[in-house]
Amino acid sequence: MKTQVAIIGAGPAGALLSLILHQRGIESIVIERQSKPYVLDRIRAGVLEWTSVELLESIGLGERLHAEGHRHDQVKIGWGGNEILDIEFQKLAGKPMMAYGQTKVQEDLYAAAERENLNIIFESSDVELHDITTDSPYVTFTTNGETQRVDCDFIAGCDGQHGVSRKAIPDNKRTEFERAYPFGWLGILSETPPLPHLLYANNEKGFALCSERNPMLSRYYVQCSLDDTVDDWSDDRFWTELLARLPESQAELVVTGPSIEKSIAPLRSEVIEPMQYGNLFLAGDAAHIVPPTGAKGLNLAIADVHYLSEAFVARYAGEPAKLAAYSETALKRVWSTVRFSWWMTVLLHRFPGESSFDQRMREEDLAYLTRSESARRSIAEQYVGLDY
Ligand code: APR
Ligand code: PHB
């Protein structure tokens, strides 16, 4: 097969890149390891920056997003037992955020791929990248027991943190920056009405988060030990621990119920530099991982795809400069977002073995946020997303 851009991975980054390129007249073939139902079954992020909302609107994906998404003008942070501070995005940063599950974004992308006849090849294994530093790179993979080859001009590595693309950059050309956090998030879905606002909480017992997927589907998290397994956490233990970590006035509002999904995810920060090598370009989790505290993973993938698609469009119009500068351009937002996600994680979690001084400094940060509108504006503008 031959195409202009071969895309590895049909998660949010790969599927979005293929759709935008198609709408701008650039052909692509997407090679995805899993089946379509498998990708759609993943429970992932739940918050879109307004910048992401506007991008999805611009490619015709605004209808369901506005019909089923829930626009939020603020989030709440519980701290010091029963303190609550409001981060009022609309008032402080002039933009809201949209609660809309990544699963729905993926469904919308796949529906658009069907409508626009995009070429996504699911259940492909043994993907290999070849000749990425030449002008004739190609990708081989196996599907239906047969080895396939895609000749292309460029390869976009959108294959996430466990993908093969990042490793195609030689070890002596690739720098990996990483921070593993000494705790995980235990998350559940319950068919119960969510709180009116997203609520983050820092508590002596650890972090908690109350979020949503729709008016009758809630998403809750508690910080847990990396040694924990889902079996260590009955629903009763989960709800007891969650409510104990929330300010009482908020805990009273939580409607508990049986979990229909329960999973534990480790938290890590990671950046791969550079995000391009020869004719290979990385986007999304293939290039960086952020802890979910800042709700940035999906939004950063969308931002990378914005920069990369603009660069491909310019390149095919005879302007190669943007593509040559893609990594430098994308990394500015990546590092800014990685810092914000790290900062929110340190602000809101309890670190095993930390001293009482560390927790007091954390509580002073939260007290300062309560007093200072400028400090709250700083969080607000980063949470809803800086302009591209
Ligand atoms: N060959 C082909 N496809 C692969 C390979 C491979 N070797 N390895 C991984 N993939 C596929 C995965 O099956 C997945 O569907 O690449 C896709 C990568 O998608 P994501 O991991 O969702 O990453 P991305 O598209 O960058 O989206 C980032 O997804 O994981 C969340 O928290 C993350 O919200 C963020 C968003
Ligand atoms: C979610 O709804 O899953 C969610 C919301 C906000 C976060 C992280 C996860 O910061």
Query: Which residues have a catalytic role annotated?
Result: 72, 200, 292, 296, 383
Task: Tell me, in angstroms, the distance from the centre of ligand 2 to residue 132's CA.
Answer: 36
DSSP for 224-265 reads E-TT--GGG--HHHHHHHHHHHS-HHHHTT-----EEEEEEE
What does the pLDDT profile of the chain (388 residues) look like in tens digits?
Answer: 999 999 999 999 999 999 999 999 999 999 999 999 999 999 898 999 999 999 999 999 999 999 999 999 999 999 999 999 999 999 999 999 999 999 999 999 999 999 999 999 999 999 999 999 999 999 999 999 999 999 999 999 999 999 999 999 999 999 999 999 999 999 999 999 999 999 999 999 999 999 999 999 999 999 999 999 999 999 999 999 999 999 999 999 999 999 999 999 999 999 999 999 999 999 999 999 999 999 999 999 999 999 999 999 999 999 999 999 999 999 999 999 999 999 999 999 999 999 999 999 999 999 999 999 999 999 999 999 989 9
Cα–Cα dist 209/78, whole Å = 10
Task: Tell me, in angstroms, the distance from the centre of ligand 1 to residue 366's CA.
Answer: 35
Alpha helices, H only, 59-123: 63-68, 89-93, 102-115
* pTM strictly above 0.85: yes
Cα–Cα dist 24/310, whole Å = 9
The three-state secondary structure class of 272 is strand
* Domains, the chain, with CATH or none: 5-48+62-69+100-177+268-341 (3.50.50.60), 71-97+181-267+350-384 (3.30.9.10)
Residue that the structure tokens 């329960």 belong to: 262
- Minimal-distance CA residue to ligand 1 atom 22: 11
Task: Tell me, in angstroms, the distance from the centre of ligand 2 to residue 179's CA.
Answer: 20
Ligand 1 atom nearest the C-alpha of 102 is: 34
CA distances from 207 to 81, 156, 335 (A): 12, 36, 24
Q: Which ligand is nearest to the CA of 348?
A: 2
The three-state secondary structure class of 155 is strand
Mutate to test the pocket of ligand 2, among 52, 100, 211, 289 (most ligand atoms within 8 A of CB): 211
Q: Residue 104: its pLDDT value, please?
A: 97
Q: Which ligand is nearest to the CA of 294?
A: 2
Q: Residue 280: its pLDDT value, please?
A: 98
Q: Residue 216: its pLDDT value, please?
A: 96
